[in-house]
Amino acid sequence: MGESQRVKIAVKYRAEYLSSRELPRGIEQKASGAPGASQPLSLAAPKPQGLITAGDEISSAPPYPLTTVEDEVQRVMDGLAGRQLKARAKKHKAPTRELVRAAAEKQRIQDAAPAGQQAVRKMNYEPVRPTWHAPWKLMRVISGHIGWVRALAVEPGNRWFASGSVDRTIKIWDLASGTLRLTLTGHVSPVRGLAVSARHPYLFSCGEDKQVKCWDLETNKVVQQYHGHLSGVYALALHPTLDVLVTGGRDSVARVWDMRTKQQIHVLAGHRGTVASIACQDADPQVITGSMDSTVRLWDLAAGKSMATLTHHKKAVRALALHPSEFGFASASSDSIRQWRCPRGDFVQAFEGASGIVNTLAVNSDGVAFAGGDDGTMRFWDWRSAHCFQQTETIAQPGSLDSEAGVFCSTFDRTGFRLITGEADKSIKIWKEDDDATEETHPIDFRPSLGRRRF
């Protein structure tokens, strides 16, 4: 600050405020309780300190202490500087408030969008680093069917598993040794779906003969049949906590059955094509269906109505897979494999490298997602980052045609350490992780792209 400006502020301060800073002597003594405070006060008005009258001696010294004025000026200047800092801070806060308002408006628009249309994108400049998983290798080949293996189901106790085939039989296999335990006959067309109940000693099967059967595993006989489908039944799923069975097929509907009374509870209508895959869980949406009309529908089981329709796929949705622990699922078609978040069906991400017709999906608790293709391709992804860490092809049995190298169905056992696949060469293959693999021998080939990913 210049000297002239400093003097100007000091003179202005002295002229306007200096006379009011000090009380008259009588009032000051009375307030302080000093001796002489009780003396009568003069009624004459006090002479202003800055006024010079006749008889006063003119002194060269200023009538006020110079240091006091300098301190006050400095105080005034500090106050001005503080106001300027506050003004700057307020100016800088304005864009922040605008950003907050814009983010809130964006979130409001996103929440107001129809369910299933909210795209949850990961930041392009913060790619998720995939978790390391050991590569999978072939462990055992089981032969016994004389037709394509189209359905698999693992028993809750993880002791045996069942397989359904185009040869119209259902076979029970020992999971540890791979030996055949039992063969069930009763279907007159290919078996397309199997499910083992965790609450009852029942095995459920469906086939292209429009039949849905319930097998008693204690007597190995059919104890219930569910009639109502107008064409072949392609998919079957059991509710985890209710005595409810859900089936779907070529009549473009999913039917909900009471397991004990055989009564049809709901007909979930809305698809315009074959219902090829069904998944059930104990929280809404309790039923999820994938169809050949390239849509995925989420159903309210209590009301029997559709909660949301996911239209992101462009080709037939042939496979669905629920994550064992996370509240989400994946759907597969020949154009892409996509990951969704429940309960509204929010899109999360697309699995990279997916191509060709995908017949089956499976996910284990370690976050490994498997997809089996119609051409025999097998791909393994990390669920969290959607990174494909292994791509291989199945090995057809000796004597089979090259065109018979196809994977039709798959499932992980209850531990998640074994993968079972049913294939077009009439065999069942069991895969496991390579125990000798480490992060040094099989490093992650992670090459994130900074470009915008389009889904």
Tell me the pLDDT tens digit for each residue of 377-433: 999 999 999 999 999 999 888 888 877 889 999 999 999 999 999 999 999 999 999
Give the pLDDT confidence score for residue 440 in this predicted structure: 92
End-to-end CA distance of the chain: 61
Rounded (5°) CA angle 93-94-97: 85
Spacing of C-alpha 144 from chain mean position: 41
Contacts of residue 13, defined as CB under 8 A and 6 or more positions apart, other chains included, come to 69, 72, 73, 76
pLDDT at 116 over 60: no
Residues 268-288 have a mean pLDDT of 96
Reduced 3-state DSSP string for the chain = CCHHHHHHHHHHHHHHHHHHCCCCHHHHHHHHCCCCCCCCCCCCCCCCCCCCCCCCCCCCCCCCCHHHHHHHHHHHHHHHHHHHHHHHHHHHHHHHHHHHHHHHHHHHHHHHCCCCCCECCCCCCCCCCCCCCCCEEEEEEEECCCCCEEEEEECCCCCEEEEEECCCEEEEEECCCCCEEEEEECCCCCEEEEEECCCCCEEEEEECCCCEEEEECCCCEEEEEECCCCCCEEEEEECCCCCEEEEEECCCEEEEEECCCCCEEEEEECCCCCEEEEEECCCCCCEEEEECCCCEEEEECCCCEEEEEECCCCCCEEEEEECCCCCEEEEEECCCEEEEECCCCEEEEECCCCCCCEEEEEECCCCEEEEEECCCEEEEEECCCCEEEEEEECCCCCCCCHHHCCEEEEEECCCCCEEEEEECCCEEEEEEECCCCCCCCCCCCCCCCCCCCCC
How far from 384 is each of 219, 360, 363, 414, CA to CA, in Å?
44, 19, 12, 21
Contacts of residue 21, defined as CB under 8 A and 6 or more positions apart, other chains included, come to none
Range with lowest mean pLDDT among 62-76, 193-207, 368-382, 434-448: 62-76
CA nearest neighbour of 171 among 435, 420, 453, 434: 420
Partners of 337 in beta bridges? 332
Six token digits for residue 151 = 């359905």
Give the pLDDT confidence score for residue 122 in this predicted structure: 47
Q: What is the pLDDT of residues 117-137, one digit of tens each?
A: 555 554 445 678 899 999 999
CA atoms within 13 A on the CB side of 281: 19
Give the pLDDT confidence score for residue 58 in this predicted structure: 45
Range with lowest mean pLDDT among 41-50, 208-217, 228-237, 319-328: 41-50
Residues 106-127 have a mean pLDDT of 60
Give the pLDDT confidence score for residue 86 in this predicted structure: 61
Give the pLDDT confidence score for residue 62 in this predicted structure: 47
Which carries the bigger pLDDT value, residue 76 or residue 143?
143
Does the predicted TM-score (pTM) go above 0.85? no
CA nearest neighbour of 321 among 356, 374, 279: 279
- Rounded to the nearest integer, the mean pLDDT of the chain is 84
Give the pLDDT confidence score for residue 68 in this predicted structure: 58
Spacing of C-alpha 23 from chain mean position: 73
Give the pLDDT confidence score for residue 415 in this predicted structure: 95
Distance separating alpha carbons of residues 240 and 282, to the nearest angstrom: 6
Range with lowest mean pLDDT among 60-64, 106-110, 112-116: 60-64
Confidence of residue 73 (pLDDT cuts 50, 70, 90): low
Residues 323-327 have a mean pLDDT of 94
Confidence of residue 353 (pLDDT cuts 50, 70, 90): confident
